[in-house]
């Protein structure tokens, strides 16, 4: 039985997932500065007063936990992860992994020294549609894929000022998200697409912006487009857009291969679709087919059961927790390990320099085990 402590109210997203695996894991502690959040934890999770903490270090020292789920504001992620690792706890951390390049190198070193599991909680990678397309990619149905797109369009201006703050008082998002230049929050777009490119990695990025047009005077770009060059020479384009006035479309993806393509739904009755050449239809790339109507049976087996049906992100939150628990049990780092977390997060951090220098191409470090100090640099 893996005993989990949650820090931060966004961690409530895993409650239904953990409750669906009662023999594997249990939430035994909660930490948040808000008394209201702790009261909610008592009600939703069934915690006692003694299992609720206002001070994070107290939870690490006193609570009966094996692992910590970090769901605090992004500028606290590395600080909270390092404290947990040094306290001998496994870590699953929400995105992004850090907010500076130095933090990413600190984080990698601490994970390697600790010997504990670190999982980067990019839950969009676990959504059923992403996994269905990944299954089709592995079967070679798209041929060799050479181009991908991911878009996170999510109008978030209302999150700059919290419901529980005095009028006009900015939240952390005002500064650390909408106050940042570049593709500050790229991994919901990038992560799923990169999984379709197997073990390829991002080696260089260039980020472009059409300028600021929002009425709030926020420092961040209204939107950015980032081109990611992969080690194989292939190309991925991602859009991060949290201020443009438009309907939400947080999970738009597409890939292009030598035998056809896939595009996610965009809205207004659109559906996920593919166009594929097959032996029976060598011109299949000329006609769209519904992804789910035609290829549902290729969904990975574990997504076909009912275990995660009540968890968020189409059940994806259940499977990411399941993989975290399995990694702890086996002692084997998960697929979404600290190196992938660092690589995908670095796209955000390097994009700040790129966009402020006219789309300058920035090299992405090769994040890996025992990375030498001489490579822990930003190349200009």
CATH superfamily of 124-299+337-380: Dihydrodipicolinate Reductase; domain 2 (3.30.360.10)
Please give the pLDDT value at position 310: 74
Range list of β-strands (E), 209-266: 223-230, 235-241, 249-257, 260-263
- Which DSSP helix (H) or strand (E) runs through 173? helix 172-176
**Every domain of the chain and the residues it spans:** 124-299+337-380
How far is it, in rounded angstroms, from Cα 378 to Cα 33? 36
Please give the pLDDT value at position 24: 95
Model-level pTM? Answer: 0.95
How far is it, in rounded angstroms, from Cα 163 to Cα 167? 9
What is the DSSP annotation of 10-30?
GGGGGHHHHHT-TTTEEEEEE
Closest to 194 in 3D by CA, of 128, 238, 240, 249: 238
For the chain, 380 residues long, the average pLDDT of each consecutive 10-residue run is 95 92 96 94 94 98 98 97 98 98 98 98 96 98 98 91 68 90 96 96 98 88 97 98 94 98 95 97 96 97 80 85 97 98 98 97 97 94
φ and ψ at residue 78, rounded to 5 degrees? -70, -45
Please give the pLDDT value at position 165: 53
Structure tokens that stand for 215 in this block: 């009425």
- Give the CA distances from residue 258 to residues 144, 197, 288, in Å, rounded to whole numbers and listed in that order: 5, 14, 16
Residue with tokens 């390097």: 350
CB 246 within 8 A of CB 153: yes
Structure tokens that stand for 355 in this block: 């966009």
């Amino acid at each position: 039985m893996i005993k989990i402590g949650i820090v931060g109210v966004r961690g409530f997203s895993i409650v239904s997932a953990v409750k669906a695996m009662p023999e594997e894991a249990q939430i035994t502690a909660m930490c948040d500065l808000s008394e209201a959040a702790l009261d909610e934890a008592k009600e939703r999770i069934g915690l006692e007063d003694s299992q609720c903490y206002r001070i994070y270090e107290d939870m690490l020292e006193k609570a009966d936990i094996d692992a910590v789920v970090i769901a605090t504001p992004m500028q606290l992620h590395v600080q909270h992860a390092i404290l947990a690792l040094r306290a001998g706890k496994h870590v699953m951390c929400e995105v992004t992994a850090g907010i500076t390049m130095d933090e990413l190198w600190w984080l990698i070193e601490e994970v390697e020294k600790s010997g504990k599991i670190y999982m980067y909680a990019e839950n969009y990678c676990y959504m059923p549609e992403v996994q269905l397309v990944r299954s089709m990619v592995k079967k070679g149905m798209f041929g060799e894929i050479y181009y991908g797109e991911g878009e996170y369009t999510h109008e978030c201006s209302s999150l700059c000022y919290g419901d529980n703050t005095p009028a006009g008082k900015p939240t952390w998002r005002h500064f650390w998200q909408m106050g940042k230049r570049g593709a500050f929050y790229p991994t919901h777009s990038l992560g799923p697409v990169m999984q379709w490119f197997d073990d390829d990695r991002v080696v260089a990025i260039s980020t472009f912006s059409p300028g600021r047009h929002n009425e709030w005077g926020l420092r961040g770009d209204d939107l950015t487009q980032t081109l990611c060059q992969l080690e194989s020479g292939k190309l991925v384009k991602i859009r991060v857009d949290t201020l443009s006035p438009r309907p939400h479309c947080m999970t738009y993806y597409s890939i292009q291969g030598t035998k056809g393509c896939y595009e996610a739904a965009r809205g207004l009755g659109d559906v996920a679709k593919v166009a594929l050449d097959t032996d029976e239809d060598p011109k299949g790339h000329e006609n769209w087919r519904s992804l789910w109507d035609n290829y549902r049976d290729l969904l990975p087996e574990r997504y076909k059961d009912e275990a995660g049906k009540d968890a968020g992100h189409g059940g994806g939150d259940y499977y990411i927790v399941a993989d975290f628990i399995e990694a702890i049990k086996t002692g084997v780092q998960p697929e979404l390990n600290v190196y992938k977390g660092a690589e995908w997060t670095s796209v955000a951090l390097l994009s700040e320099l790129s966009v402020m220098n006219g789309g300058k191409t920035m090299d992405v470090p090769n994040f890996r085990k025992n990375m030498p100090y001489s490579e822990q640099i930003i190349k200009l």
